Structure 1
Amino acid sequence: MSRALVLFAHGARSAAWAVPFEKLRDLTQARLPDVQVRLGFLELMAPRLPELVAELAASGVTQVTVVPVFLGQGGHVMRDLPVMVEELRNSYPQVAINVVEAAGENAAVLNALSDYCVASLPV
Protein backbone atom coordinates (compact mmCIF):
# COMPACT_ATOMS: atom_id res chain seq x y z
CA MET A 1 0.00 0.00 0.00
CA SER A 2 1.45 3.34 -0.97
CA ARG A 3 -1.14 5.41 0.92
CA ALA A 4 -1.77 5.78 4.62
CA LEU A 5 -4.37 7.56 6.69
CA VAL A 6 -3.12 8.52 10.14
CA LEU A 7 -5.66 9.26 12.84
CA PHE A 8 -3.68 11.66 15.03
CA ALA A 9 -4.75 11.85 18.66
CA HIS A 10 -3.33 13.40 21.81
CA GLY A 11 -2.58 10.28 23.83
CA ALA A 12 -3.13 9.58 27.53
CA ARG A 13 -1.64 7.59 30.38
CA SER A 14 -4.58 5.17 30.48
CA ALA A 15 -4.73 2.53 27.76
CA ALA A 16 -8.53 2.60 28.06
CA TRP A 17 -8.52 6.15 26.70
CA ALA A 18 -7.40 4.83 23.30
CA VAL A 19 -10.23 2.30 22.89
CA PRO A 20 -12.62 4.63 20.99
CA PHE A 21 -9.75 5.67 18.70
CA GLU A 22 -8.91 2.04 18.04
CA LYS A 23 -12.55 1.40 17.15
CA LEU A 24 -12.50 4.42 14.82
CA ARG A 25 -9.32 3.09 13.22
CA ASP A 26 -10.87 -0.35 12.72
CA LEU A 27 -14.11 1.07 11.27
CA THR A 28 -12.13 3.28 8.92
CA GLN A 29 -9.77 0.47 7.89
CA ALA A 30 -12.77 -1.69 6.97
CA ARG A 31 -13.95 1.06 4.61
CA LEU A 32 -10.49 1.58 3.09
CA PRO A 33 -8.98 -1.87 2.52
CA ASP A 34 -6.32 -0.52 0.13
CA VAL A 35 -5.03 2.11 2.56
CA GLN A 36 -3.08 1.63 5.77
CA VAL A 37 -5.15 3.23 8.54
CA ARG A 38 -3.04 3.84 11.62
CA LEU A 39 -3.19 5.64 14.94
CA GLY A 40 -0.47 8.10 15.84
CA PHE A 41 -0.14 10.11 19.03
CA LEU A 42 1.26 13.44 20.09
CA GLU A 43 2.46 12.17 23.45
CA LEU A 44 2.06 9.60 26.23
CA MET A 45 1.23 6.71 23.85
CA ALA A 46 2.93 4.90 21.03
CA PRO A 47 3.47 5.20 18.24
CA ARG A 48 4.17 8.89 18.27
CA LEU A 49 3.68 10.57 14.91
CA PRO A 50 7.40 10.85 14.00
CA GLU A 51 8.01 7.15 14.64
CA LEU A 52 4.87 6.19 12.76
CA VAL A 53 5.79 8.25 9.68
CA ALA A 54 9.31 6.76 9.77
CA GLU A 55 7.77 3.27 9.78
CA LEU A 56 5.37 4.12 6.97
CA ALA A 57 8.14 5.67 4.86
CA ALA A 58 10.35 2.61 5.39
CA SER A 59 7.50 0.37 4.20
CA GLY A 60 7.19 2.32 0.94
CA VAL A 61 4.24 4.57 1.72
CA THR A 62 4.41 7.70 -0.44
CA GLN A 63 1.24 9.53 0.62
CA VAL A 64 0.19 10.18 4.20
CA THR A 65 -2.97 12.02 5.19
CA VAL A 66 -3.10 13.10 8.81
CA VAL A 67 -6.54 13.54 10.40
CA PRO A 68 -6.31 15.29 13.77
CA VAL A 69 -8.92 13.50 15.85
CA PHE A 70 -9.40 16.53 18.10
CA LEU A 71 -12.64 18.41 18.74
CA GLY A 72 -11.01 21.77 18.15
CA GLN A 73 -7.97 23.39 16.65
CA GLY A 74 -6.22 24.18 19.93
CA GLY A 75 -2.53 24.67 20.53
CA HIS A 76 -1.54 21.11 19.71
CA VAL A 77 -3.18 21.21 16.29
CA MET A 78 -2.29 24.82 15.49
CA ARG A 79 1.26 24.95 16.87
CA ASP A 80 2.71 21.54 17.67
CA LEU A 81 1.42 19.55 14.69
CA PRO A 82 2.62 21.96 11.95
CA VAL A 83 6.15 21.98 13.41
CA MET A 84 6.16 18.19 13.65
CA VAL A 85 4.86 17.80 10.09
CA GLU A 86 7.41 20.25 8.68
CA GLU A 87 10.22 18.26 10.32
CA LEU A 88 8.75 15.05 8.88
CA ARG A 89 8.51 16.56 5.40
CA ASN A 90 12.18 17.53 5.63
CA SER A 91 13.18 14.08 6.89
CA TYR A 92 11.07 12.14 4.37
CA PRO A 93 10.86 14.20 1.17
CA GLN A 94 9.68 11.11 -0.73
CA VAL A 95 6.47 11.10 1.33
CA ALA A 96 3.71 13.63 0.59
CA ILE A 97 2.16 14.53 3.93
CA ASN A 98 -1.23 16.22 3.95
CA VAL A 99 -2.95 17.45 7.11
CA VAL A 100 -6.69 18.07 7.14
CA GLU A 101 -8.80 20.05 9.60
CA ALA A 102 -9.41 18.79 13.11
CA ALA A 103 -12.31 16.34 13.11
CA GLY A 104 -14.34 18.56 15.43
CA GLU A 105 -14.05 21.47 13.01
CA ASN A 106 -15.77 19.49 10.25
CA ALA A 107 -19.48 20.23 9.69
CA ALA A 108 -20.43 16.57 9.17
CA VAL A 109 -18.73 15.57 12.43
CA LEU A 110 -20.40 18.41 14.32
CA ASN A 111 -23.79 17.43 12.88
CA ALA A 112 -23.25 13.80 13.92
CA LEU A 113 -22.35 14.92 17.44
CA SER A 114 -25.37 17.20 17.55
CA ASP A 115 -27.60 14.32 16.42
CA TYR A 116 -26.20 12.20 19.24
CA CYS A 117 -26.75 14.99 21.79
CA VAL A 118 -30.32 15.59 20.64
CA ALA A 119 -31.09 11.87 20.68
CA SER A 120 -29.78 11.58 24.22
CA LEU A 121 -32.73 13.55 25.65
CA PRO A 122 -35.43 11.33 27.11
CA VAL A 123 -38.77 11.58 25.34
Structure 2
Amino acid sequence: MIPLIAVAHGSRDPRSARAVAAALAVLRTEHPEWDVRLAFLDLNTPSVPQVLDAVAADGHRRAVVVPLLLGSAFHARVDLPAILADARTRNPLLDVTCADILGDDARLVAAARDSIASTGVALDDPSVGIAFCAVGSRRDEANTATARVVPRVTAGTAWSAVACYATAAGPTAASASELLARSGCSTLVVAPWMLAPGLLWDRACAAVVEAHPDARIAPTLTTHAAVGHVVAERYLAAVHRNTVRAA
Protein backbone atom coordinates (compact mmCIF):
# COMPACT_ATOMS: atom_id res chain seq x y z
CA MET A 1 0.00 0.00 0.00
CA ILE A 2 1.19 3.52 -0.79
CA PRO A 3 2.34 5.13 2.48
CA LEU A 4 0.07 7.83 3.89
CA ILE A 5 2.10 10.59 5.51
CA ALA A 6 -0.14 12.76 7.68
CA VAL A 7 1.53 16.14 8.17
CA ALA A 8 0.59 18.10 11.28
CA HIS A 9 1.60 21.65 12.16
CA GLY A 10 3.52 20.81 15.32
CA SER A 11 3.47 22.49 18.73
CA ARG A 12 5.57 23.02 21.83
CA ASP A 13 2.60 21.64 23.76
CA PRO A 14 2.96 17.84 23.96
CA ARG A 15 -0.83 17.44 24.07
CA SER A 16 -0.99 18.51 20.43
CA ALA A 17 1.17 15.67 19.09
CA ARG A 18 -0.63 13.18 21.33
CA ALA A 19 -4.03 14.32 20.06
CA VAL A 20 -3.02 14.00 16.41
CA ALA A 21 -1.46 10.60 17.05
CA ALA A 22 -4.68 9.44 18.71
CA ALA A 23 -6.71 10.52 15.68
CA LEU A 24 -4.39 8.56 13.42
CA ALA A 25 -4.63 5.54 15.72
CA VAL A 26 -8.35 5.44 14.92
CA LEU A 27 -7.49 5.57 11.23
CA ARG A 28 -5.03 2.69 11.60
CA THR A 29 -7.65 0.64 13.42
CA GLU A 30 -10.16 1.15 10.62
CA HIS A 31 -7.55 0.49 7.90
CA PRO A 32 -4.98 -1.91 9.40
CA GLU A 33 -3.55 -2.65 5.95
CA TRP A 34 -2.49 0.98 5.43
CA ASP A 35 1.00 2.30 6.13
CA VAL A 36 0.16 5.45 8.09
CA ARG A 37 2.98 7.70 9.26
CA LEU A 38 2.92 11.00 11.15
CA ALA A 39 5.22 13.94 10.41
CA PHE A 40 5.40 17.53 11.62
CA LEU A 41 6.12 20.82 9.90
CA ASP A 42 7.72 22.37 12.95
CA LEU A 43 8.51 22.00 16.66
CA ASN A 44 8.07 18.19 16.80
CA THR A 45 9.74 15.13 15.34
CA PRO A 46 9.82 13.33 13.05
CA SER A 47 9.93 16.12 10.49
CA VAL A 48 8.44 15.80 7.02
CA PRO A 49 11.89 15.38 5.38
CA GLN A 50 12.81 12.66 7.89
CA VAL A 51 9.65 10.66 7.19
CA LEU A 52 9.91 11.04 3.41
CA ASP A 53 13.55 9.95 3.50
CA ALA A 54 12.56 6.92 5.61
CA VAL A 55 9.80 6.02 3.14
CA ALA A 56 12.29 6.15 0.29
CA ALA A 57 14.84 4.14 2.27
CA ASP A 58 12.18 1.47 2.85
CA GLY A 59 12.01 1.01 -0.90
CA HIS A 60 8.72 2.73 -1.63
CA ARG A 61 8.38 4.51 -4.95
CA ARG A 62 5.18 6.40 -4.17
CA ALA A 63 3.89 8.30 -1.15
CA VAL A 64 0.87 10.48 -0.42
CA VAL A 65 1.16 13.45 1.93
CA VAL A 66 -2.08 14.54 3.62
CA PRO A 67 -1.77 18.01 5.21
CA LEU A 68 -3.65 18.09 8.52
CA LEU A 69 -4.54 21.73 7.96
CA LEU A 70 -7.91 23.45 8.11
CA GLY A 71 -6.96 26.53 6.11
CA SER A 72 -4.93 27.52 3.10
CA ALA A 73 -2.45 29.79 4.84
CA PHE A 74 1.37 29.94 4.76
CA HIS A 75 2.02 26.32 5.70
CA ALA A 76 -0.29 24.96 3.00
CA ARG A 77 0.65 27.40 0.25
CA VAL A 78 4.40 27.93 0.79
CA ASP A 79 6.03 25.90 3.54
CA LEU A 80 4.88 22.38 2.73
CA PRO A 81 5.27 22.66 -1.09
CA ALA A 82 8.86 23.82 -0.59
CA ILE A 83 9.60 20.92 1.75
CA LEU A 84 8.13 18.42 -0.72
CA ALA A 85 10.07 19.91 -3.62
CA ASP A 86 13.29 19.51 -1.66
CA ALA A 87 12.37 15.92 -0.74
CA ARG A 88 11.75 15.07 -4.40
CA THR A 89 15.21 16.40 -5.26
CA ARG A 90 16.82 14.25 -2.56
CA ASN A 91 14.77 11.18 -3.48
CA PRO A 92 14.26 11.30 -7.27
CA LEU A 93 12.81 7.79 -7.37
CA LEU A 94 10.05 8.67 -4.89
CA ASP A 95 6.85 10.01 -6.43
CA VAL A 96 5.31 12.26 -3.77
CA THR A 97 1.68 13.34 -4.20
CA CYS A 98 0.22 16.02 -1.94
CA ALA A 99 -3.45 15.56 -1.11
CA ASP A 100 -5.88 18.40 -0.47
CA ILE A 101 -5.93 19.98 2.98
CA LEU A 102 -8.70 18.89 5.35
CA GLY A 103 -10.24 22.33 4.96
CA ASP A 104 -13.85 23.08 5.77
CA ASP A 105 -15.12 19.59 5.00
CA ALA A 106 -18.77 19.16 5.97
CA ARG A 107 -17.85 16.36 8.38
CA LEU A 108 -15.48 18.64 10.26
CA VAL A 109 -18.11 21.36 10.39
CA ALA A 110 -20.52 18.82 11.90
CA ALA A 111 -17.77 17.71 14.29
CA ALA A 112 -17.36 21.32 15.46
CA ARG A 113 -21.12 21.49 16.13
CA ASP A 114 -20.93 18.20 18.05
CA SER A 115 -18.00 19.56 20.04
CA ILE A 116 -20.02 22.60 21.10
CA ALA A 117 -23.06 20.48 21.98
CA SER A 118 -20.84 18.24 24.13
CA THR A 119 -20.44 21.16 26.57
CA GLY A 120 -24.10 20.66 27.51
CA VAL A 121 -25.79 23.44 25.54
CA ALA A 122 -29.06 22.73 23.75
CA LEU A 123 -29.32 23.30 20.00
CA ASP A 124 -32.50 25.33 20.43
CA ASP A 125 -31.19 27.61 23.19
CA PRO A 126 -31.01 31.22 21.91
CA SER A 127 -29.04 32.32 24.98
CA VAL A 128 -25.95 30.43 23.73
CA GLY A 129 -23.13 32.50 22.24
CA ILE A 130 -20.20 30.84 20.49
CA ALA A 131 -16.74 32.41 20.20
CA PHE A 132 -15.59 30.31 17.26
CA CYS A 133 -11.81 30.43 17.42
CA ALA A 134 -9.29 29.63 14.69
CA VAL A 135 -5.53 30.11 14.83
CA GLY A 136 -5.62 33.17 12.57
CA SER A 137 -3.57 34.28 9.58
CA ARG A 138 -2.04 37.43 8.15
CA ARG A 139 -3.97 36.61 4.96
CA ASP A 140 -7.43 38.13 5.00
CA GLU A 141 -8.62 35.37 2.66
CA ALA A 142 -7.76 32.68 5.22
CA ASN A 143 -9.58 34.49 8.01
CA THR A 144 -12.57 35.12 5.77
CA ALA A 145 -12.70 31.39 5.04
CA THR A 146 -12.93 30.73 8.78
CA ALA A 147 -15.72 33.28 9.14
CA ARG A 148 -17.66 31.48 6.41
CA VAL A 149 -17.61 28.29 8.48
CA VAL A 150 -19.51 29.92 11.35
CA PRO A 151 -23.03 29.93 9.83
CA ARG A 152 -22.52 26.34 8.73
CA VAL A 153 -21.66 25.29 12.29
CA THR A 154 -24.70 27.08 13.74
CA ALA A 155 -27.11 25.94 11.00
CA GLY A 156 -30.17 24.32 12.56
CA THR A 157 -29.44 25.81 15.98
CA ALA A 158 -30.60 28.93 17.83
CA TRP A 159 -27.02 29.88 18.75
CA SER A 160 -25.29 33.16 18.04
CA ALA A 161 -21.65 32.98 16.98
CA VAL A 162 -18.71 35.22 16.16
CA ALA A 163 -15.52 34.13 14.39
CA CYS A 164 -12.37 35.00 16.31
CA TYR A 165 -8.66 34.26 16.15
CA ALA A 166 -5.93 33.21 18.55
CA THR A 167 -3.24 35.20 16.76
CA ALA A 168 -2.46 37.40 13.74
CA ALA A 169 -6.01 38.74 13.33
CA GLY A 170 -9.01 40.04 15.22
CA PRO A 171 -11.33 39.84 16.93
CA THR A 172 -9.76 37.85 19.74
CA ALA A 173 -11.72 35.20 21.62
CA ALA A 174 -12.02 37.59 24.56
CA SER A 175 -13.44 40.43 22.49
CA ALA A 176 -15.78 38.07 20.63
CA SER A 177 -17.09 36.80 23.96
CA GLU A 178 -17.64 40.36 25.18
CA LEU A 179 -19.59 41.14 22.03
CA LEU A 180 -21.77 38.07 22.51
CA ALA A 181 -22.37 38.87 26.19
CA ARG A 182 -23.38 42.46 25.35
CA SER A 183 -25.80 41.14 22.75
CA GLY A 184 -27.62 39.15 25.44
CA CYS A 185 -25.98 35.72 25.31
CA SER A 186 -25.89 34.39 28.87
CA THR A 187 -24.16 31.08 28.08
CA LEU A 188 -20.78 31.51 26.42
CA VAL A 189 -18.86 28.72 24.71
CA VAL A 190 -15.34 28.99 23.31
CA ALA A 191 -15.23 26.58 20.39
CA PRO A 192 -12.09 25.69 18.43
CA TRP A 193 -11.76 25.56 14.68
CA MET A 194 -8.50 23.80 15.51
CA LEU A 195 -7.49 20.18 15.29
CA ALA A 196 -5.58 19.83 18.52
CA PRO A 197 -4.98 21.61 21.84
CA GLY A 198 -2.00 23.87 22.22
CA LEU A 199 -0.63 27.00 23.81
CA LEU A 200 -2.52 29.42 21.55
CA TRP A 201 -5.80 27.68 22.28
CA ASP A 202 -5.12 27.69 26.03
CA ARG A 203 -4.32 31.39 25.92
CA ALA A 204 -7.53 32.22 24.06
CA CYS A 205 -9.62 30.18 26.49
CA ALA A 206 -7.92 31.65 29.55
CA ALA A 207 -8.65 35.19 28.37
CA VAL A 208 -12.35 34.39 28.03
CA VAL A 209 -12.61 32.55 31.35
CA GLU A 210 -10.88 35.40 33.16
CA ALA A 211 -13.75 37.70 32.21
CA HIS A 212 -16.47 35.05 32.18
CA PRO A 213 -15.66 32.27 34.69
CA ASP A 214 -18.73 30.28 33.67
CA ALA A 215 -17.72 30.11 30.00
CA ARG A 216 -17.64 26.60 28.61
CA ILE A 217 -14.73 25.22 26.60
CA ALA A 218 -15.45 22.85 23.71
CA PRO A 219 -12.95 20.10 22.85
CA THR A 220 -10.74 20.34 19.78
CA LEU A 221 -11.55 18.41 16.62
CA THR A 222 -9.14 15.50 17.02
CA THR A 223 -11.48 14.09 19.66
CA HIS A 224 -13.96 13.37 16.86
CA ALA A 225 -13.79 10.38 14.49
CA ALA A 226 -14.54 12.70 11.57
CA VAL A 227 -10.88 13.75 11.39
CA GLY A 228 -9.72 10.23 10.55
CA HIS A 229 -12.51 9.81 8.02
CA VAL A 230 -11.57 13.01 6.18
CA VAL A 231 -7.88 12.05 6.20
CA ALA A 232 -8.79 8.69 4.65
CA GLU A 233 -10.87 10.35 1.93
CA ARG A 234 -8.14 12.86 1.08
CA TYR A 235 -5.64 10.01 0.82
CA LEU A 236 -7.83 7.85 -1.43
CA ALA A 237 -8.64 10.81 -3.69
CA ALA A 238 -4.92 11.57 -4.09
CA VAL A 239 -4.14 7.91 -4.85
CA HIS A 240 -6.88 7.91 -7.48
CA ARG A 241 -5.57 11.13 -9.10
CA ASN A 242 -2.09 9.67 -9.19
CA THR A 243 -3.34 6.42 -10.75
CA VAL A 244 -5.33 8.25 -13.43
CA ARG A 245 -2.36 10.48 -14.23
CA ALA A 246 -0.10 7.44 -14.63
CA ALA A 247 -2.54 5.53 -16.83
Does the residue aligned with 2:22 lie in a helix, a strand or coil? helix
Instruction: Please give the per-residue CA displacement for 1:3-36, whole angstroms capped at 9, x wherever unaligned.
Output: 2111111111122221110111111111222221
The structural deviation recorded for 1:121 is 5.4
Does the residue aligned with 2:103 lie in a helix, a strand or coil? helix
Query: Does 2:32 align with 1:33?
Result: yes
Report the equivalent of 1:112: 111
Q: Which stretch of structure 1 is more off in the superposition, 69-78 or 105-114?
A: 105-114
Aligned CA RMSD, in angstroms, stands at 1.8
Query: Does 2:9 align with 1:13?
Result: no
Q: Which stretch of structure 1 is more off in the superposition, 38-47 or 58-67?
A: 58-67
Report the equivalent of 1:57: 56
Query: Does 2:95 align with 1:96?
Result: yes
Report the equivalent of 2:75: 76
Instruction: Please give the per-residue CA displacement for 1:65-119, whole angstroms capped at 9, x wherever unaligned.
Output: 1111122111011111111111112222222211122213433333333343356
Q: Which amino acid aligns with 1:41?
A: F
Instruction: Give, in whole Å, the separation in 2 of the partners of 1:40 and 1:59.
Output: 16
The structural deviation recorded for 1:59 is 0.9
Report the equivalent of 1:85: 84
The structure that has the greater radius of gyration is 2
Greater RCO, CA 8 A, separation 6+: 1
Consecutive unaligned residues of structure 1, counting only runs of 5 or more, are none
Q: Percent of aligned positions with the same letter in both sequences?
A: 27
Does the residue aligned with 1:65 lie in a helix, a strand or coil? strand
Does the residue aligned with 1:54 lie in a helix, a strand or coil? helix
Instruction: Please give the per-residue CA displacement for 1:32-71, whole angstroms capped at 9, x wherever unaligned.
Output: 2222111100111000000110011111222211111122
TM-score (norm. length: structure 1) = 0.86
Consecutive unaligned residues of structure 2, counting only runs of 5 or more, are 123-247
